[in-house]
């Protein structure tokens, strides 16, 4: 992994894993990274150099280092660098949403304890899809960088095994950026703006027969002006997902493996809320061995029981101006999936209660590669619940080969397909 990070509050050069060991720690300095080649409509704010340093000594033997880490952030707030260059254990929830002008130089490792009873009671809770987290960063102008060797270890195996027996178990997100202006990090970026994530490696997997579940690489929620780039994700859920009220997002240069795709949604889950996703550019990414390549998913207009702990539908809003360009696919089940009936398998109900979410001005451009044998020769599915709620869907230069070598087929329902160039559409 390249030892880069960002300029105005960023996250880079880090690794995230469910279980790992780390060696070769060293002192690191903040790298200089910019969004490239695609950029936002405005430059990210610059971040001044820091004027003090706070190092944290690990207690060792798996003892909780949370209090010492919290003290270092208090001491180095307003212009300092917190140095984490050893092997640390965190067993206490950390609220770091008070930061202003802080760098985090992580050349060591941070491992969260697997004390499930403690974390269920004490992790920070979010109403959206019953999310929770071990710790959260927020404030203004925060840079987190790992020099290519820093590691966050969520210690996920105990959670995967417990979740197999308890499917409503709330499993914490490794780290959340909450209310951060100028900054970034892995898994959930919420209520934040001007974020750059670069050169991060995420590895998630299970060593038992119980799979790792809900392992999104990054989700954006109520956030604006976010760039995620030049990173590697090996997981089993969305590589990146744009949740409600995500605007002006660029995702570029990712290599994703085993995921559910780079996804818009799910949206429209909560009846009293108005969700939007707008101005998203997904450029020059590779997706391998995934359920989907490019995906847009919104709930129908009726309450739907999807799976334990996850149901919804009936919410309103729109998805507008989303582009997927230069997308290379390797053995993906669906190259493109557009679904206005997320969570509802009954197509009759979906048509009777069409989605309140409008999907428009969507562009799929310059797709190459192969689909998997799962649906061969079908390679994609675009199913809308209403042509009034789903329009201006474009596809151009789509060159996909199914394993059989047959002409690729596309399932296209519920919208005007005139702008799908070269698609051989079937109804099912």
List the catalytic residues: 260
First and final C-alpha spacing in the chain: 43
287 and 259 in contact (C-beta within 8 Å)?
Answer: yes
Closest by alpha carbon to 128, among 390, 309, 398? 309
31 and 45 in contact (C-beta within 8 Å)?
Answer: no
Question: What is the C-alpha to C-alpha distance for residues 365 and 283, in angstroms, rounded to an integer?
Answer: 10
Looking only at the bridges linking them, the beta strands covering 124-126 and 131-133 are antiparallel
Q: Residue 256 to residues 24, 163, 252, 331, 365: CA-CA distances in angstroms?
A: 26, 24, 11, 12, 19
Cα torsion angle, 268, 372, 187, 81, sign: negative
Question: What is the C-alpha to C-alpha distance for residues 331 and 370, in angstroms, rounded to an integer?
Answer: 5
Question: What is the C-alpha to C-alpha distance for residues 384 and 391, in angstroms, rounded to an integer?
Answer: 9
């Amino acid at each position: 992994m390249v030892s880069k990070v960002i300029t105005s509050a960023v996250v880079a050069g880090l690794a995230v894993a469910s279980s790992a060991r780390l060696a070769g720690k060293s002192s690191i300095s903040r790298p200089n990274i910019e969004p490239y080649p695609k950029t936002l409509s405005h430059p990210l704010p610059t971040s001044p150099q820091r004027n003090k340093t706070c190092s944290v000594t690990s207690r060792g033997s798996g003892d909780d280092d949370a209090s010492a880490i919290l003290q270092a952030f208090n001491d180095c707030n307003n212009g300092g660098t917190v140095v984490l260059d050893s092997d640390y254990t965190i067993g206490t929830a950390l609220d770091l949403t008070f930061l202003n002008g802080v760098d985090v130089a992580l050349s060591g490792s941070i491992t969260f304890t697997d004390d499930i009873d403690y974390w269920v009671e004490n992790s920070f809770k979010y109403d959206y899809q019953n999310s929770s987290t071990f710790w959260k960063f927020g404030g203004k102008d925060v840079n987190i960088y790992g020099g290519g060797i820093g590691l966050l270890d969520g210690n996920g195996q105990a959670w995967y095994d417990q979740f197999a027996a308890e499917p409503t178990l709330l499993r914490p997100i490794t780290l959340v950026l909450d209310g951060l202006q100028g900054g970034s990090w892995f898994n959930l970026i919420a209520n934040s703006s001007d974020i750059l994530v670069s050169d991060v490696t995420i590895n998630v997997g299970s060593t038992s027969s119980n799979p790792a579940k809900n392992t999104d690489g990054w989700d954006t929620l109520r956030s604006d002006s976010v760039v995620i780039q030049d990173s590697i994700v090996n997981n089993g859920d969305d590589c990146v997902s744009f949740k409600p009220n995500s605007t002006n997002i660029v995702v570029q240069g990712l290599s994703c493996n085993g995921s559910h795709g780079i996804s818009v949604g799910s949206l429209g889950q909560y009846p009293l809320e108005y969700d939007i996703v707008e101005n998203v550019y997904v450029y020059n990414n590779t997706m391998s061995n995934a359920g989907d390549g490019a995906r847009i998913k919104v709930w129908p207009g009726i309450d739907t029981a999807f799976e334990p702990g996850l149901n919804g539908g009936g919410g309103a809003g729109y998805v507008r101006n989303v582009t997927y360009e230069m997308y290379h696919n390797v053995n993906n089940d669906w190259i493109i999936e557009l679904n206005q009936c997320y969570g509802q398998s009954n197509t009759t109900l979906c048509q009777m209660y069409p989605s309140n979410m409008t999907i428009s001005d969507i562009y799929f451009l310059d797709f190459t590669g192969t689909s998997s044998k799962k649906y061969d020769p079908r390679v994609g599915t675009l199913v809308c619940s209403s042509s009034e709620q789903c329009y201006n869907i474009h596809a151009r230069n789509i060159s996909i080969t199914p394993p059989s070598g047959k002409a690729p087929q596309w399932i296209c329902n519920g919208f005007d397909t005139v702008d799908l160039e070269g698609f051989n559409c079937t109804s099912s």
